[in-house]
Structure formats: structure tokens, C-alpha cells
Amino acid sequence: MALYTPASTVLLLHGDGANASTTFTDSSYNAKIVTAVGSAQISTAQSKFGGASMYFDGASYATTPAHADFALGAGYFTEEVWVYPTNAAAGTNFYGTFYQNITGQNQIGTAANATVNLALANMRPTATIFTAANTNVGAITAASTIAVNAWSHLAYVRSGSAFTLFVNGAVAGTATSAEACNTSTRVMPIGADSTGNCKFQGYIDDLRITKQALYTAAFTPPTAPLEPFNPVQINIQLFDPGIYKLCKYDPSQPKPVIQEVTQDLQDRLPYGLWTTPAAAAPFEFKGRGQITGTTKEAALPSNAPLSRLVRLHREPDGMFVKATWSDAAGNYTFNGLRPDCKYTITSYDYTGQYRAVIADNITPTPL
């Protein structure tokens, strides 16, 4: 039995890099090409994390092509971002409103609107999505403004039919709609709308769009750089023939539903972050440790590298964690390990010429 969680982070821009660089790197699993338009660039003048951020001067922006990953439909999602606006009156004067887009494949008055339109309207955070009929749903505008020349965390979340806009972790507004978001062929912009209007002026850091409802109540904004939620495929019976009774993946939910808990799942599966949809308690499968090594032939010629099957077991219960093959140079690597555990490595000679070699009491190197 295999349990699979799809790649749910579809865009992750840390804004890291050298000052004045025009390379905006997408750190999501299915990385997109992001193109700077005008003088949009990386700046070390301001950052929330990483020593740099994306800077937009009010006349520039960035884009990434339309992609199937941005099709949200009626599914769960979270768009979150750190913003540092430097001009309350930047952007296109839109219906008498100084409107600064952060993201959104939108153009008002057309049926091509899609994905999340996250913006500042006279410095009040606002968020919407649109249906194929150009119906504006999930529309929320915060009651109060955010500060200029200061970092603020914005998050817009859909959980079922409930939409919530958060400002610095506090609920700023809610809306309800069961309608599906339109799928657009427009470019996905950062710092403007899809036609390059309503431009943002200031700095943007750690922009992430994830197809999960990560926040459903007030929360503490992230205190470290955001990470992608990437696919995890696990043969549950490979780890424990009985563990298949503990959980299953329900495609109608953004995260696996815990059906029956007889032990701490954190200790049973290797990595990821899942939370039961109806509960606040997370099951964190730690995964920031790494073990590396080599497989070699001890006989003549001595220490010649060999490619062999290598298996990893956790101590002290002996649970099988994962297996890999060393490469032609004898090198192997295990990632996604708990750095607070010790492990045993067994190297097998599939030719049957040598007995297995075992190394125990190994502590992963934290990454």
C-alpha cells in the first residue's frame, strides 16, 4: 500500500541572491521560470529572511508563464507573503484607489481572471478570486491599513468554502463561496497585474502559493524562511506491515486523514508535515538530517569502489527506513532523516561473493 501526497507548493520565491541580480529563483518542486520586467531586481537593502528580497520600484514587476499548477479550482490554498511597501500612493490610480498588486492573473472586466489576486488598496490588504463568469468571490478587504516602510505578513486562505485574509497572523476578514476559481492563460505576475498595471512599490520576500489550507485561525507569522510542501511517496507496509491501519490519504482533503492512532506517527514515517483537517495538533515527520558514506571492496585491489545495495534502519527498534544504491564511485546518501535518532547501515553484496557489512550507532548530520 502506498501513500502519496502531491506537490502542493506551486510557487516559492525567497528573493535571495546577489544585490541587483535579475534572477528570481522559484524554489517550488516544479520550479517555474520567473522573468524580471523593467528594473525589478534582487536587493540587499531590505529583507525579512536570507539577507535579500525582491525589489519593485513602482514601474517594474516580474512574471512567470501561465501553468497548470496555478489552477486552483475549488480546492484548498494558501498564498502568503512578506511585503515592505515604500510608497502608499504607488501603483495605477484604479477607480480612485491607489491599487498595488502583489500577485494575480487578473484584468478587471474580463473573464480571464484567475488564481489569487492579492493586493493593497490604499494600503489596505485585499484578496479575491474569480470564476469563469468573472464573478468576484472570496473578496475580502482588511478594515485597517498596513505600515509603510515596515514588514507585514499577509496570508489569504481557502478552506472548503471559507476564505480568510490574515494580516500579521490576525484575522482581517472572512468570506464564503463554494464556487471554483477560473483557470487563466495569462501570465502570473509578481508586483503588478497580468497586464503590468497596478504596480507595487517596495520589497517582497518569501512569496509562497500552496494548495493546502495552512492557516484556519489566528497564528504567529513565520519566524524562518518558508519551505516547500513537496511530494512524499511512501510504501507504508514497507515500513511496518501493520501501519496501513493508522492512516489513509483522502483526495478530498488537503492533508491525510488520521483514521486510527495507536502510536506516534512522527516516529514511524520519515519526513513531511501533515495535520489532521479537523484538529490543530500536527504530526511532524522530522527530516533535516543526512547520512553519507561509501561502499568499497576490502580485498585486492584494496578499497576499490563498488556499487552495492545499502539499507538504513533506525535504532533502537530496528525499523527499516529506506534503501538506496551507491553509485559507481561507491558513494551513497540518505536525506530526510531525523537528526535526533541513531541509525544502522547495512551494505549488501548482491553478487553473493561477500557477506554484508554493518555500521551502527550513526548520527545524521543536521542540514
Instruction: Categorize the per-residue pLDDT at 288 as very low, low, confident or very high, splitting at 50, 70 and 90.
Output: confident
Give the pLDDT score at 166: 97
Q: What phi, psi does 70 have (nearest 5°)?
A: -85, 0
Which residues make beta-bridge pairs with 309? 325, 348
CA distances from 209 to 30, 71, 154, 214, 260 (A): 12, 11, 12, 10, 31
Average pLDDT value for residue range 33-41 = 95
pLDDT digit string, tens, across residues 297-328? 876 667 788 888 899 888 877 888 888 888 88
Are the CB atoms for 268 and 44 separated by under 8 Å? no
Neighbours of 14 (CB within 10 A): 24
Query: What is the residue-wise DSSP string for 219-270?
Result: -PPPSS-------EEEEHHHH-TTGGGTEE--TTSSS-EE---SS-GGGTS-
Q: What are phi and psi of 133, to 5 degrees?
A: -85, 10
Domains of the chain: 8-210 (2.60.120.200), 232-285 (no CATH), 289-366 (2.60.40.10)
Q: Does 17 have pLDDT greater than 60?
A: yes
**Residue 22 burial by CB count (10 A; 0-12/13-18/19+): exposed, middle or buried?**
middle
Q: Which amino acid is at 49?
A: F
Percentage of residues in the chain having pLDDT higher than 70: 77
Tell me: pLDDT of 218 over 90: yes
> In sequence order, what are the residues at sequence separation of 6 or more whose Cβ sits closer than 8 angstroms to the Cβ of residue 116?
72, 77, 79, 103, 104, 127, 128, 129, 156, 209
Neighbours of 355 (CB within 10 A): 8
